Amino acid sequence: MSLEHEQSLIGGLMKIASCESDIASYILSTLKPASFSVRINKEIYKAILFLNANKMYFDNLSVMKQVEKNDWVEIRDVDLCYQYAADGSLLRQYSTAIKDESMERFSVAKIADIQDMITNPENGNIAQRLGLAESVISGLIEQMQNREEKGLRDAGYWAGEWIDDKEAYHSGEQISYTLGIQGIDEAFKPKGVLPGSLVVVGARPKMGKTFTAVKIIDHFLKESGKAVCAFSMEMRGVDIWERAMSSRGRVDSDSFYSVSMENTNFWDHAGGINVELANSQFYLDDSPCVSMAKIKKEVREVHRKNPVGLVMVDYLTLMGTEEAERNDLKYAAITKELKILAKELGCVILLLIQLNRGLENRPDKRPVPSDGRDTGQIEQDCDVWIGLYRESVYNADCGHSLTEAIVRLNRAGSNATAYLELNNGYFEDVCQLEAHRQTEKAKEEKRKEEQDNEERSTFKGRGKRA
């Protein structure tokens, strides 16, 4: 039926002859020449697209004139399509059929590629080869579900998209996200974190990467109305779950071990939190070495059932990767794929990374994006980069236990520093002004101490020379 559908659709377009028709406008903006099965129909459709792009009518006579110099098409081919022209009410149906048939041909062609992936030992062990094959199949399914074909769109299309986008925002429909970290969310207003964003949280050990991730996860579960997928390659899934319970219920996680089961008030409260989380759209995988192919496959499966709002990956350098000459190339490939996945699903991807020990040799140990381990590409791929810093890890006498969440990169707005306090196993927001005052006071005292030490050292040196 493919050939008949194509001829009838082309003929129907020539009868309409103008993009002033909504159905003609829709078809020309979504259907590509590659969707047609034979070269003749592709060339005639290209002629229609050319005439429309030049603001000319694409009636049958105009199309015949346009294809006169085309060696692939004869006048009678255009005339045949015109004779078979479908009624305007059938054109959308025919357009869908042509897309389906095009996808079927494409899928059949991909079968040979999948067979080569599975049988070629250069693609890794059998598990890795099957992972690649699964990724291709998942991509085909996703393409089928996302009917609208992508490609270049004219200025009028994007002007309309921008208006729709702003109307959705001002009508209260959610088109951006918040992270649930007060100081950052305030600084990111009014745009917030946009769908399709790759958010990176980097820190040295003991700075609170997982606590931060759990706080963001809990916020998304409560506020976004969408599913959250978490891949924990460092911690057990049950430990992540326990931290989520602690964050949700404002309960010290140590209490789950120290409070007797006879304390019914406590355990009833804990049970209620457990049930509340159990009824949420929280998906967790604690496999020790997850490949990018597996992440894409599992997240897409969840997204087909429930739209995904957040994907958390903990952490980059523990991920299973394909062979590459250097680590930085391996990690660059992963971050690019994560960014593509975020854009594809319209979700936020939260990637945790461990930073180099070298930053601890600096006087100011607050992290910057270049502190990543072989992860220079992240600065180019991520939309938001947050570094975590706790002065009390290095200086127990600093006078506070605050954690600084330092936004070093934000493509959609300004940078900022937010303050959090680790309280009984979960992060709490604090008064940002008071926290800023405390940290600045601690910085000043540290500078003064360093200056005094330098002066004493200089004085001793002079004494020895004397």
At 184-235, the pLDDT tens digits run 999 998 889 999 999 999 999 888 899 999 999 999 999 988 999 999 988 8
Residues shown for the chain: 466
pLDDT tens figures, 10-37: 999 999 988 888 888 888 888 888 889 8
Same domain, 366 and 298: yes
pLDDT at 40 over 60: yes
Interatomic CA distance for residues 24 and 98, integer angstroms: 15
Q: What is the CATH number of the domain that holds 22?
A: 1.10.860.10
Same domain, 87 and 180: no
The pLDDT assigned to 436 comes to 85
The pLDDT assigned to 8 comes to 92
Burial grade of 276 (CB within 10 A; 0-12, 13-18, 19 or more): middle
Helix (H) or strand (E) holding 203: strand 198-203
Same domain, 375 and 308: yes
User: Residue 373 — pLDDT band, cuts 50, 70, 90?
Assistant: low
Same domain, 111 and 256: no
158 part of a folded domain: no
Least confident interval from 45-49, 91-95, 140-144, 170-174: 140-144
Domain of residue 312: give its range.
175-430
Same domain, 350 and 261: yes
Q: What is the CATH number of the domain that holds 393?
A: 3.40.50.300
215 part of a folded domain: yes
**Among 144, 143, 314, residue whose Cα is nearest residue 243:** 314
Same domain, 76 and 204: no
* HEC per residue, 287-347: CCCCEHHHHHHHHHHHHHHCCEEEEEEECHHHCECCCCCCHHHHHHHHHHHHHHHHHHHCC
pLDDT at 439 over 90: no
Q: How many Cα atoms within 13 Å fall on the side-chain side of residue 31? A: 31
pLDDT tens figures, 331-368: 777 888 889 889 888 899 999 988 888 888 888 889 99
CA Rg value for the chain: 29
**Among 185, 248, 234, 449, residue whose Cα is nearest residue 354:** 234
The pLDDT assigned to 59 comes to 92
346 part of a folded domain: yes
384-389 vs 198-203, strand pairing mode: parallel
Interatomic CA distance for residues 79 and 85, integer angstroms: 10
Same domain, 180 and 293: yes
Tokens encoding 114:
């999948």
98 part of a folded domain: yes
152 part of a folded domain: no
pLDDT at 398 over 80: no
Last residue of a domain, one of 85, 119, 153: 119
Same domain, 105 and 180: no
Give residue 135's identity as a one-letter amino acid code.
Answer: S
The pLDDT assigned to 336 comes to 86
Q: In angstroms, how far is the first alpha carbon of the chain from the final one?
A: 102
Same domain, 84 and 233: no
Last residue of a domain, one of 102, 119, 136: 119
Tokens encoding 60:
């049958």
Same domain, 115 and 222: no
Which backbone phi and psi does 132 adopt, to 5 degrees? -65, -40
> What is the arithmetic mean of pLDDT over 245-263?
88
**What's the DSSP call for residue 18?**
S
> What is the arithmetic mean of pLDDT over 69-76?
82
Same domain, 183 and 84: no
Tokens encoding 353:
């990374």
Higher pLDDT, 416 or 156: 416
> What is the arithmetic mean of pLDDT over 233-257?
89
pLDDT at 326 over 70: no
Same domain, 210 and 354: yes
316 part of a folded domain: yes
The pLDDT assigned to 374 comes to 64
Domain total of the chain: 2
* Residues above pLDDT 70, as percent of the chain: 90
298 part of a folded domain: yes
Tokens encoding 273:
């939190």
462 part of a folded domain: no
Interatomic CA distance for residues 116 and 126, integer angstroms: 12
